[in-house]
Amino acid sequence: MIELKNVSFEYENGKPVVQDLSFRIEKGESVGLIGANGAGKSTVMKLLLGLVSGDGEILIDGMPMSRNNLADIRKKLGFVLQDSDDQMFMPTVYEDLIFGPVNYGMSREEADKTADEVLAKLNLTELKHRHNHKLSGGEKKMAAIAVILAMQPEAILMDEPTASLDPYNRRIVINTIKELSQTKIITSHDLDMIMDTCSRVILLSNGRIAADGPAEEILRDRTLLEANHLELPPGIAGR
């Protein structure tokens, strides 16, 4: 579904942020992208979305990342932003749900049906006509996930999906993520959440892959995590 081949990127100051990065994510995989601040996680997300371009090759569902393919690639990828306020920009949840599908050519009738199906799947039907500015943080995060699902992407990229949530809403979001069948790439400092939602982890350090393997192995390796300025997840450390 997603493949990077020898991808490198640096900003204008010439400091490399991603260096010779190569990995492949199969369709349906759930992958946690972790690392300390500045490790390159956000830049990888931007590269996958075509927001920045570097050296090397990026393939999304077999299509090379290029200006000509960008519109088709973005239809395959949904991006859940860390701050839901940056994503929910229409007055109501319903208007946000149909905005993307209609602009991608879906009929209003079909967009309405898709919105209802997504809300029902996530048990959010009661939010349909709620105003976004009246949603709680947890409700807004769930609504943001619904908005992306309404676009019917084949892969979902999530940036810190549980950030700033209370324990109750955090658990709801985690359970929702676990039930999604799409290919998922999740960046987070919440390593307990990564353990709960991802079968595989890619650990970045200074723009390179420090480890890539089963989440259970990497997230239980205290020596590896501490060497890369991370801590053993509290949920594991307490066991």
**pLDDT the model gives residue 156:** 95
**pLDDT the model gives residue 38:** 87
CB 109 within 8 A of CB 162: no
pLDDT tens-digit profile of 43-101?
Answer: 999 999 999 999 999 999 999 999 999 989 988 999 998 888 888 899 999 999 999 99
pLDDT band at 237 (very low <50, low <70, confident <90, very high): low
CB 224 within 8 A of CB 212: no
**% of the chain exceeding 70 in pLDDT:** 99
The residue-averaged pLDDT of 194-222 equals 96
CB 41 within 8 A of CB 33: yes
Could you tell me which CATH class the domain 2-237 is placed in?
A: alpha beta
Q: How far apart are CA 151 and CA 111, in angstroms?
A: 9
pLDDT band at 239 (very low <50, low <70, confident <90, very high): low
Q: Is the model's pLDDT at 165 over the cut of 90?
A: no
pLDDT band at 234 (very low <50, low <70, confident <90, very high): confident
- For tokens 């075509």, the residue is 50
**pLDDT the model gives residue 84:** 85
Burial track 227-238 (b if 16+ CB lie within 10 A, e otherwise) = ebebebbeeeee
Beta bridge partners of 213: 201
Q: Is the model's pLDDT at 213 over the cut of 90?
A: yes
The pTM for the full model equals 0.89
Query: Which uninterrupted H or E stretch holds 173?
Result: helix 167-179
Beta bridge partners of 157: 79, 185
Q: Is the model's pLDDT at 15 over the cut of 90?
A: no
The residue-averaged pLDDT of 180-195 equals 95
| Residue with the larger pLDDT of the pair 16 and 20 | 20
pLDDT tens-digit profile of 200-212?
Answer: 999 999 999 999 9
CB 203 within 8 A of CB 218: yes
Strands 30-34, 200-205: parallel, antiparallel or unpaired by DSSP?
parallel
